Amino acid sequence: MTVSILIFLPVVAAIIVALLKNEVAKYAALFFSVAELVIAGLFLSRFVPDASTQFTIDVPWITKFGIYFSAGIDGISMIMVLLTTLIVPLIILSTLQHKHSNAGAFYGLILFMQAGMLVVFTALDGFLFYVGWEAALIPIYFICALWGGENRIRITIKFFIYTFAGSLFMLVGIIYLYLQSPGKTYDLHEFYKIGLDAHHQSIVFWSFFLAFAIKMPLFPFHTWQPDTYTEAPTAGTMLLSGIMLKMGIYGVIRWLIPNAPLGFIHWQSLVMILAVIGIVYASLIAFNQKDGKRLIAYSSIAHVGLIAAGIFAWTTLGVQGAMIQMLNHGINVVGMFFIWDIISRRLNTRDISQLGGIAKVAPKFSIAFLIILLGTVGLPLTNGFVGEFLLLAGVFQYSAYHYLNITLAAVAGLTIIFGAVYLLRMYKNVMYGELNELTATFTDVSGSEKLTLCIICVLIIALGVYPHPIMHISEAAVNNLVQMINVRGN
């Protein structure tokens, strides 16, 4: 059994679903996405949590240029595969109450995007990685442009220009590494062996960093994100925030730091400062947001800033925290955007000032909302706490040995305090207080909405109470990678 089945099943499914119509397309897409999750579960059951790469496929593709269809799964990739195969069926399930024009194309694009993201998370060949990177971008462009909000065309073009420009920088970096490799190959592990000096590694660092920083997004490369998240259809926003931004984080761990360890060490402090600035900046802007969906968009920037700080601290705790937090953030942010999708569909507004008292007429909805919010805030015994604790511990470890001292870690920790303030204030304004003419019509969740929220809430609590199985998956691979970079960086 090789990883190829995980990559090609969504492609076949996308073609089939694209030929179907309306309700049939919805349920076919849900069926195929659940089947993909089951297959990922089979891979997980056979996965050995060591530092090796498993379920590999390595076949000639464009041999003249040393390009192979080479992919596999290690502990780091397995977390991302689980994230992708778990979030996509949740997203599709959350859209069953929607009526999309040309539903076959809509759901076909979601499945095709899933295939592209799985290529990114499993690729062991630089050219294949780039193909997957671009293949994931094309579907989300059309999803946003065809089914987005009133300003979708202008916003989507801005998003496309940002991400495509970043991709070109990354392509230059990949080709440069290919030209420097002794065997003229795009093989990832051969890239790791290239012994460039610090100057040339800095060039490689920035070529990859620009692409990944835009995708995450990291301050100051974030300006496309709030508008795109707000104007995209909810499913598109969930795909972008729940999975696609993790492509940038994963790229830093797998492709940037291992290929340019000396460049990473040289620019490490700068990126840490940018990440921390992003945390504070996004949090302060979130305080003043009246649109609930836009508030969650800025909250996501702050949380991703902490993940980036944890990674660039490059300690075992920090990278392990980033791994589990990528999964947890995906679950939580999909839940938060789904909450606002339910509110906006029922009341035709996302203006927090127009809401209030919803808990009185929708107790099930209010409980689910609170659980998801507490997971996002990082309350102990919820999934968000585990990752944020490890990330902050990693940043503290870094600060203890660098001139930036403990101040950097203390400021990074503000994301938890700020997040608690603006999210709990949002919850109070939306759910409590007096009912008004608008919110009195709100109906409680049922059917697929109730099922989606139940799954998300169970995951938040289960991963918060017992995170060990997930952390054990990536532990050996993370330890091996951190040690390898520490040796090569000295």
Residue pLDDT, tens place only, 115-127: 999 999 999 999 9
271 & 296 share domain: yes
Arithmetic mean of pLDDT, 208-236: 87
pLDDT bucket at 487, cuts 50 / 70 / 90: confident
Instruction: Tell me: do 200 and 294 sit in the same domain.
Output: no
CA distances from 101 to 97, 107, 143, 145, 326 (A): 13, 11, 12, 13, 32
Query: Given the DSSP bridges, would you call strands 67-73 and 54-62 parallel, antiparallel or unpaired?
Result: antiparallel
150: which DSSP letter? Answer: T
313 in the same domain as 240: no
Band of the pLDDT at 375, cuts 50, 70, 90? very high
Indicate the pLDDT class of residue 99, thresholds 50, 70 and 90: confident
Question: In the chain, how many H helices and how many E strands?
Answer: 22, 2
Q: Which residue has the higher pLDDT, 196 or 5?
A: 5
CA–CA gap between residue 105 and residue 30 (Å, rounded) = 14
What is the pLDDT, as a whole number, of residue 113? 94
Q: Tell me the residue type at 116.
A: G
Is residue 239 domain-shared with residue 276, that is, in the same domain? no
pLDDT at 488: 67
247, 288: one domain: no
Q: For CA atoms 354, 376, 114, 213, give the dihedral sign.
A: positive
- Residue 284: strand, helix, or coil: helix
pLDDT recorded at residue 109 = 94
In sequence order, what are the beta bridge partners of 59?
69
Question: Are 58 and 6 members of one domain?
Answer: yes
Do 277 and 405 lie in a common domain? yes
Report residue 203 as tokens: 């060039």
Q: How many alpha carbons lie under 13 Å from residue 163 in its C-beta half-sphere?
A: 26
Please count the structural domains in the chain: 2
The reported pLDDT for the residue numbered 452 is 94
Residue finishing a domain among 214, 229, 259: 259
Q: How confident is the model at residue 401 (pLDDT cuts 50, 70, 90)?
A: low
Residue 487: how many other CB atoms lie within 10 Å? 9
Same-domain status, 204 and 319: no
235 and 300 assigned to the same domain: no
Asked if residue 295 lies in contact with residue 426, where contact means CB atoms within 8 angstroms, the answer is yes
Which of 227, 241, 221, 240 minimizes the C-alpha distance to 156? 227
Domain boundary among 214, 238, 259: 259
Alpha helices in 257-315, H assignment, sequence order: 257-259, 261-287, 292-313
Query: Is-cis flag, bond preceding 220, omega within 30?
Result: yes
Token pair listed for 439: 């919110």
214 and 295 co-located in one domain: no
* Strand-pair partners of 70: 58
Q: Give residue 70's pLDDT band: very low, low, confident or very high (50, 70, 90).
A: very high
Q: Residue 236 is part of which domain span?
A: 1-259
Q: Can you give the pLDDT at residue 88? A: 95
**Structure-block tokens of residue 251:** 């790229």
* Average pLDDT score over residue span 270-281: 89
pLDDT tens track for 134-189: 999 899 889 988 887 777 788 888 888 888 888 899 999 999 999 988 888 898 88
Nearest-5° Cα angle at 51, 46 to 54: 40
pLDDT score, position 97? 83
Residue 404: pLDDT over 60: no
Final residue in a domain of this structure, among 237, 259, 281: 259
Q: Return the SS3 of 28.
A: helix
Q: Tell me: the pLDDT tens digits for 280-312?
A: 888 889 888 888 999 998 888 888 888 998 899
Nearest-angstrom CA–CA distance, 305 and 478: 20
Residues 344 and 484 in one domain: yes
Neighbours of 161 (CB within 10 A): 11
Asked if residue 403 has pLDDT above 60, the reply is no
CA atoms within 13 A on the CB side of 54: 18
331: confidence class by pLDDT, cuts 50, 70, 90: very high
217 cis-preceded (ω within 30 degrees of 0): yes
Residues 189 and 271 both lie in one domain: no
